[in-house]
Structure formats: C-alpha cells, structure tokens
Amino acid sequence: MAALTMILDRKRSWVLAIWLLMVLAALAIIFSRLNFSYDLGLFLPGPQTLSQEVLVERLGDSPGSRYVLIAVPDNETQISDLITSLEELESIDEVLSDLTAETAGAIPEPVWSNRYLLADMDWSIEGLQTALRQRLSELGMGSDAAFEDMLRHDPALTALTALEPLAAGRDAAWLTSQGQRVLVAVTTAPAFDIEAQQRVVEGIRTALASNYPETESASLSGAGVFGVDLRNTIQQEATWRSVWASAALIVVLLLAYRSFSVIVLSALPLISALVLGLLGVTLAFGVVHGITLAFGFTLLGVAIDYPLHYFSHARYQLPEKAIGAVWPTLRLSAFSTVLAYLALLLGGAEGIAQLGLFSALGIAAALVTTRWVVPALARAKPPRSRPESRTRPPEAAVSLKIARWVSLVFAAALIVWQCFTPNWWSNDLSALSPIPAEKLKRDGELREAMGAPSMRYQVVIRQQDLESLLQENEALARVLQEASLEGLIDGFSSISSLLPSSAEQTKRQARIPAPDVLESRLAAAVESLPFTASAFNAFVQDSADSRDRMPLVISDYKDSPLADALLQFLIPPDEKESGSWTSLVTLHGEIEPRDLETLLEARMPEAELVDYRSASEELVADYRQRTGRVLAGVLLLIALVLLWQVRWNRSLVCVFVVGLSLLTTASLLRALAGPLNLYHMMGLLLVAGIGLDYCLFLTRNETNSSDTRHAVLTCAASTVAAFGVLAASSIPALNSLGSAVACGVLICLLAAWLAPTVNSGKELPAV
C-alpha cells in the first residue's frame, strides 16, 4: 500500500510539473510577443460595397481622429489663457477655436505660393478693378499691417478663395446648446497610440485645472479620449469584475463541495483556458484587443463546468471511474461548443474573430486539463456511501408534466408575441461600439457645435490613378454647382480647392498674363482708385513666378498644416495592396438625395452618393446575416454530430430543447432590452453550447442521476454568477454579452431539467 501511494505521488508530481512547464512556456511566449490594442475599428464588420468601404475607412484612422474636443465655460479671458497653456504642450500641434479663426495669421504653405494655380482669377482690367474696389471698402473699415501686406501680394485674395471651402459651415460661434465654447486640440500622435493619447489627456486636464479651478463643467471627447477611457475602463473592470466573479465562484464551490481542494483543482482548467486562449490570439493576430482580455474572465463561467461535472461524480466514485462516467458526454458537448466558436473566425471582424479563437482554444484547454490533469492530481479517497435514491411519488410525475406544458405554452406565447414585434435586430452601428452611447452622443453634439458638416451624405469617386481622380472630381464640381443652383444642396467641399488636377493648374498658368501686360492692366485698373500701380509690384512678381511653377502635387503637403484637411477629402490606396484613390466630396446644408442621385446618374455616373446612415445599417445587417448563415451551418453540423454519436430520439430532444431555449432567450431579451445586437448573438451562441451541455447530461438514462443533477445545478450557478457580474459592466459589448448568457443559462437549465430522459445508446468511447 505504501509503495502504491509513493507511485501515485510520483505520478502526481510529474503531471503537475509537466502542466506547470507548459503554462510557463506559454506565458514566456505571451510576454515576449504580447501587444495590446484598443483600436475601435477592430470590431467593425468587413465592408462589402464601396459605401461600406468608405464608411469603415472614415471610422478608422481618419484625420479627425487626432482631434480632442474640449468644451469649457464661455469666458474669453480664461479660454485665451487655456489656449496658451495647451499650445505649450509638445503633444499638441495646434489649438483651433472660432475665437482665433479670423486672426489665424499667414496663409499656410503650399497654398500661399501656389495660390494662382489653386483658384481661378479674373486677370482682365475689369476683374482687377473690381477686386481693388472691394479691398478699398475693406480697408475703410479698418485693417492691420498683415492684411495690407497680403493685399500687396494678392489683391484679389485668391489664397482665401482656395481655402474658403474648408471653412464652409463654420462661420458661427462654436457654442453648445449648454453655452459651452468648443476648442479643438490637434494631437501630434495618432489616436491608436494610447500611451501618447494618455499624455495628451493628462496635459489637457492639468491645463484645465489651472485655468478653471472653480468648475468641473469642462469635458473632453474624441477618438483618442475614447481609447484612453476604454483602456482604463477595461483594466479596472478586468480586475474588479474578475475578483467579484472569482469570489462568487468560490462561494458556489464551497456550498456545493465543502472542500478547498476542489477550489484549487478547479482553478487549473481555468488557468489553462486563459493562457492557451491568450497565446493563440497573440500568435494568430499579433495584437490582443482589450475587449478580448476583458472577455477572458467570462471563461470562468464556462470552462469551470468541466471540472465541476467530474467533482460531482467523484463524490461517491474513484477518480478514474468518475472521469470515465462523464468523459464521453463532456467531450461531445465541448466539441460542439468549440466548433460553434470557431465559426466566428469566418465573420470578417477581427475583434470578434479574436473572441471566437480565444474562447475555442480556452474551452479545449479546459477540457484537456479536466480529463488528464485534474483526476491525476486528485487524491483518491475511499468513496463515500451514496445516499439511497428516493422513488418519485406518482404525483411528482404529474407535476412534471404540468410544468413542461406550462413552460412550453409560456415560451411559445413569448416567441409568437415577439415575432409580431418589428425590428428584432438593431442595425445601429454605434451599438457595436464599446463606447457608451451617452459619450458618443456628446461627441456628436460637440462636433455639431464647432460647425463640422453633416457626414450623412458624401459623393464618392474612385480611380486607379490620382490625376484621373482629380479630373473627374473637377467635372463633379461642375455638376454639383448646378445642383446647388437648383436647390438640391446648399454647397459642397472637395479636394479640388487644395489639389486641382495638373491639367487644370496648367490651364490657370496659361491665363496668367506676362509681367509687362499685368503692369499695364494694373495701371489702367487703379486710374480711378486711390492706389498706385507700384504698390502691387510684389503681386506682379508673384504672378510671374507662378507662370514658371511646376504643378502642385500631393507630396507638397507632406509637412503642411493642411495635410489633415487634404485627407478629409482623399483616401489614398492601401500601401499593402494595389488599391485605388478615393475622393470624398462633402455636401452642406439640406440635401435632396433622390433628386441629387438622379442628377448624378444622368451627368456623372462614375460618382456615387453615399448615405452613411443607410451604409452603416447595411453593413451591420450584412454582417449579421453573414454570421448567421455561418452559425446556422455550424449548428446543422453539430446536429449531425449528435445524430452520429447518440441515438436519434435523444438527439432530437436535445436539438428541440436547445432551439426552444435560444428562441425563448432571444424573445425575452428583445422584450426587456429592445432590438438585439451582434453581442447578443454571440451570447446566444454561448448559450447554445451551455444548453447542449446541460441537455446531454440531463437526458441520459442513468440508474442514479443525483450526481449529474448536482453537477448541472452547480455549473448553472457558477455560470450565472460569472456572467451576472459581466452584465453589470459599463462597456456595452460586455453588458450585452453578460445579460444574454445569464438569462439564457437559466432558461436552458429549466428546459433541460424538464426534458424527458432518453436511452443514451452508444456514445463515443470513454478513453
């Protein structure tokens, strides 16, 4: 006996050592390669149409993503001091405000040097005289030395004409409905550089504290701010909610097994699941999204089911017999769940694919650890005598039948009621964002206050080369000017004002008169005006220089402060792929979309009017349908596996119970929370795997089913505890997922508990 104990102890030591080495090796790889991402674009579905491609591109790394919007009380003195403090920060390029827009200083390059190539000018005597009369009236209203110097070089203010489309719609004060003034801090770092954005946010808040010590009414918004807040929220919630979920699980396990050794051994499959899931995502994707990490502790409520089935059966059996009793059913259930989660890899959104791979690998790791590690480490104890099973009285069978029919009628009524309720699924793209809806709404209010044009409609053109795109864009501008005259739009802004085609620039160069011709025209133009022709010698010289200039190209904007403004209207091709150039024309004011679309089809069929609201709804709907088809195929495959592994009657019972549970859960969520989103769908997928596990165990025709029922009840309690904690999350994605699973598990438990037991027949071998 002593020799046998020594052999078993040696076996346990080897198993534990091998498990520890594998975990430590995986952790070493993880820590050497792990990079976190908080890029919100990873959870955007893959685009299928031109409109959707442009939508996803604009929601990703766009020029506006480097803007931090700051709303402060409207006090010009304090605002001026705040702007000064912000401009001293190395992490901020510039600070924009309506208070400084009119005195922004010199015209930026390369617009100033190339102004006569960027905008049309009337070089005739009449045109010059008209421009000079306008300048005379402006000088009579007061001017400064900078303005007078500009007139000597550009009496027609051609440079301002080139920049005018950029200021369209921004003439009003940047005030919110609450009377706050909006400032825009343009950061040097992109929005996805969370560390740099953290320093920006801290610097801005320090400046706010020193300039507005008496109030906390200032607020920040923007992609960078959202990324910082999301990271901080995830770190806090991943810590505290995992602590609360772990505490809840410990309480459940103590109540169910009254043994600390069970708690310790149950942690091994969980550790294996988290480590292997993180390792797989790290190696497959290179970066791990923060949401994926936060999702990790939800495995507490799923992966722990496997050791719990074993421990419930090991109460009255030796370890090998206990694992042999549950292994065939456990393996079939886990295989089905892993298969369903792997289907998420085919959806098209990288963030959701990460969640699918993380979960699939985690569940597989927990299953393997439960099968070969936990029983080997569990010390064999003399099995306790099993309590005598009680025979159900006849009235219990009648009560069970009544409960089945009542539950079935209730579920059917709920499903039918919701089937006649419109909008089952939400097509709102913002519902997929991990940012709370109130923050997104506030961001929209601040952008509207600063005069940002409505982004619902844009006209899009795509071409393989940039010159062809610019020429088509100029043709489109002529069509849109006609639309403006017809009242279909109020105005538009496009790349043509900053980057005309080389052909158009050459035409404008050809219209610039020779210096001697321009001097004679100027002399004639100033005859009846209090100007001297010599006052505009700089204008004559600049015009002569423009005649010999090479056409402006996009690379000339590389170090210009207008580079971001240029990219508001232009999407370059992907450097990794042979893509196309895309031009975006922003429409201002009220739009008549149908009439404008008709005009474009007749005059400019190459252009496409993009309705971003419709595009976003189509994007979500297409992704949901695509994911739904993949999952439907996987569920069909799971049903076939069930028919292969267990008898057809038991398979049909399991499929019916799981299907009814899913429909009931979806209907209840729809009734309580409104239209469902993709995270609810992911939760329902997890519910399907858990429900199948419960049903496979509870429908077995066992001599004594008390161990199975004890295990299922403990599993359900642990899952509801873990996902109930998740349902209280402030992150919308995790909140939707947690509420769907917690609600669905309770329904699955009830449905599987009421399901009839069926002769299990031949299953997978228990080895």
Number of domains in the chain: 2
One domain for residues 345 and 296 = yes
Provide CB contacts within 8 A for 3, sequence distance 6+.
none
Token pair recorded at residue 614: 């419709």
> CA angle, corner 757, sides to 753 and 763, nearest 5?
115
Residue 72 lies in a domain: no
Beta strand extents in 434-482 (DSSP E only):
457-463
Q: Are residues 339 and 423 in the same domain?
A: no
Cα angle for residues 640, 678, 743 (degrees, 5° grid): 75
Residue appearing with tokens 């409109």: 51
Rg (CA), the chain: 34
Q: Tell me the per-residue pLDDT of 97-137, one tens digit each, with 9 for 90 and over.
A: 776 544 344 688 899 999 999 999 999 999 999 988 888 88
pLDDT at 167: 62
Residue by residue, DSSP assigns 321-361 as HHHHHHHHHHHHHHHHHHHHHHGGGGSS-HHHHHHHHHHHH
CB 748 within 8 A of CB 690: yes
- State whether 295 and 373 are in the same domain: yes
Residue 282 in any domain: the answer is yes
Structure tokens at 625: 């349908």
- Residue 40 — very low, low, confident or very high, per pLDDT cuts 50/70/90? low
Q: Are 69 and 221 in contact, with CB atoms under 8 Å apart?
A: yes
**Residue 728 has what pLDDT?**
83
* Three-state SS letters, 25-38: HHHHHHHHHCCEEC
pLDDT given for residue 443 in this prediction: 78
Q: Which of 353, 382, 411 is the last residue of a domain?
A: 382
Residue 209 lies in a domain: no
Confidence of residue 268 (pLDDT cuts 50, 70, 90): very high
Task: Give the whole-angstrom CA distance, residue 360 versus residue 280.
Answer: 10
| CATH number of the domain encompassing residue 327 | 1.20.1640.10
406 and 340 inside one domain: no
585 within a domain of the structure (yes/no)? no
Cis amide linkage into residue 110, ω under 30° from 0:
yes
Contact at 8 Å (CB) between 287 and 35? Answer: yes
Cα distance between residue 105 and residue 537, in whole Å: 22
212, 220 contact by CB (below 8 A): no
Backbone angles phi, psi at 144, to 5 degrees: -125, 175
| Strand 92-96 relative to strand 36-37, pairing | unpaired
Percent of the chain beyond pLDDT 90? 21
DSSP one-letter string for 399-413: HHHHHHHHHHHHHHH
pLDDT band at 398 (very low <50, low <70, confident <90, very high): low
CB 277 within 8 A of CB 285: no
Statement to judge: residues 410 and 339 lie in one domain? no
Chain centroid offset of residue 490 CA:
33
Mean pLDDT calculated for residue range 202-227: 79
Are residues 420 and 370 located together in one domain of the fold?
A: no
Return the DSSP state at 175.
Answer: B
How do beta strands 581-588 and 491-493 pair? Answer: antiparallel
352, 382, 412 - which closes a domain: 382
User: Helix H segments across 674-731?
Assistant: 678-698, 706-727
Buried b (16+ CB within 10 A) or exposed e, 46-76: ebeebbbbbbbbbbbebbbbbbbbbbbebee
- Identify residue 357 by its one-letter amino acid code: L
| Nearest-angstrom CA–CA distance, 309 and 312 | 5
Distance, CA of 35 to CA of 58 (rounded, Å): 24
Strands (DSSP E) contained in 419-571 are 457-463, 491-493, 570-571
759 and 732 both lie in a single domain: yes
- Backbone φ, ψ for residue 223 (5° rounding): -60, -45
Element (H, E) at 12: helix 2-33
* Residue 766 binned pLDDT confidence (cut-offs 50, 70, 90): very low
- Least confident piece of the model among 253-262, 421-430, 544-553, 717-726: 421-430
pLDDT of 134-188, one tens digit each?
888 877 766 667 788 888 899 988 988 888 776 655 556 778 878 888 888 888 8
pLDDT at 381: 64
The reply to whether the predicted model has a pTM over 0.75 is: no
8-state DSSP, 379: P
Q: What is the pLDDT of residue 668?
A: 93
Do 371 and 406 sit in the same domain of this protein? no
**520 confidence band (pLDDT: 50, 70, 90):** very high
Cis bond upstream, residue 382 (ω within 30): no
Give the CA distances from residue 473 to residues 600, 601, 603, 610, 711, in Å, rounded to whole numbers and listed in that order.
13, 15, 13, 15, 67
Does residue 63 contact residue 565 with C-beta atoms inside 8 Å?
yes
pLDDT tens digit sequence for 577-630: 557 888 888 887 777 788 888 888 889 888 888 887 787 777 777 777 877 777
SS3 311: helix
Rounded distance, CA 571 to CA 415, Å? 46
The residue among 329, 354, 382 that closes a domain is 382
Give domain status of residue 133, yes or no.
Answer: no
- Write down the pLDDT at residue 35: 84
Sign of the CA dihedral running 610, 613, 615, 618 = negative
Would you say residue 547 lies in a domain?
no
The parent domain of residue 350 ranges over: 1-33+259-382
Distance of CA 546 to the CA centre of its chain: 47
Cross-strand bridge partners of residue 461: 583
Query: Do the Cβ atoms of 473 and 584 come closer than 8 Å?
Result: no
Whether residues 368 and 410 fall in one domain: no
Q: Phi/psi zone of residue 458: left (φ > 0), alpha (ψ -120 to 50 degrees), beta?
A: beta
Answer yes or no: do 361 and 414 share one domain: no
Closest by CA position to 498, among listed 53, 139, 264, 162: 162
Cα angle for residues 636, 642, 648 (degrees, 5° grid): 105
Q: Is residue 713 part of a domain?
A: yes
Q: Examine the domain organization and report whether 269 and 353 are in the same domain.
A: yes
364 and 417 together in one domain: no
**Residue entry with tokens 């080997």:** 376
pLDDT at 310 (0 to 100): 93
**Residue with more model confidence, 453 or 338:** 338
**4 within a domain of the structure (yes/no):** yes
